[in-house]
Amino acid sequence: MEAALEAVRRDQFGKNEAGRLRQAGRIPAVLYGEARAAEPIAVDPKALMQILRSKGGVNTLIALNVQGGDEARVLVKEFQVDPVHHRLLHADFYRVAMDKLLRVAVPVQLVGEARGVKTEGGIMDFVHREVQIECLPGDIPPQITIDVSELGLHDGVRVRDLPVSPTWKTVSEADMLIVHVVPPKVEAEPAPAEEAAAATATTPAAPAEPEVIKKGKVEKPEDEKA
């Protein structure tokens, strides 16, 4: 899966410049590549978000057209999102060579209803939702699909159980458990002595203090720091 994205070069930096870019409908970004210096660019956040929300997500191969005629095949390396407004703030891309193998994390998708859940009262435990694979940039699958219909109680799927593909191979540990069907948890009934102790307790428990969660700052990219 491939998408196209336009970019422009930028030669001004800092917090004020980042704000000006966003007002103009772009966000600061950096293009990295082998044996090449990092290149400051700017891209349309709406177009990039559409790519990130597509089926391929961060593994979508992008034809990045940089103003001035330079075109590169890239993948998204990192991106930052405003935690309040959920807007893109910054993105990093890295060039890929179409003839060189790379390693990426691919999401796992489950299909079907497990027999162990449907008829045996079990619970589906989705342990690992991504698998590391090795392939060429043009062969990155959007996801790895596992049919769990035949899984009974205590059955599971490990990396070694995945089908063999002619275009990619798994590099995660072969014994890594991806999904299995487990029995439901049964809560033990309180013993009679415990029930009596609870009934005769005269001192009410102190109310729990609310947990204070500190919201961390969104790390700003280097070109936005004053």
| Residues 70-119: tens digit of each pLDDT | 889 999 999 999 899 888 999 999 999 999 999 999 999 999 999 999 99
- 203 vs 226: CA distance, rounded Å: 56
Q: What distances in angstroms separate CA 198 from CA 137, 188, 189, 207, one per listed residue?
A: 63, 16, 13, 17
- Could you name the CATH architecture of 102-182? Beta Complex (2.170)
Q: Which amino acid is at 126?
A: F
Name the pLDDT band for 213 (thresholds 50, 70, 90). Answer: very low
Name the CATH topology of 2-96.
Answer: Ribosomal Protein L25; Chain P (2.40.240)
pTM for this model (two decimals) = 0.74
Would you kindly state where each structural domain of the chain is located, as residue ranges? 2-96, 102-182
Same fold across 2-96 and 102-182: no
pLDDT digits (tens, 9 = 90+) for 9-57: 988 777 777 778 888 899 999 999 876 789 999 999 999 999 999 999 9
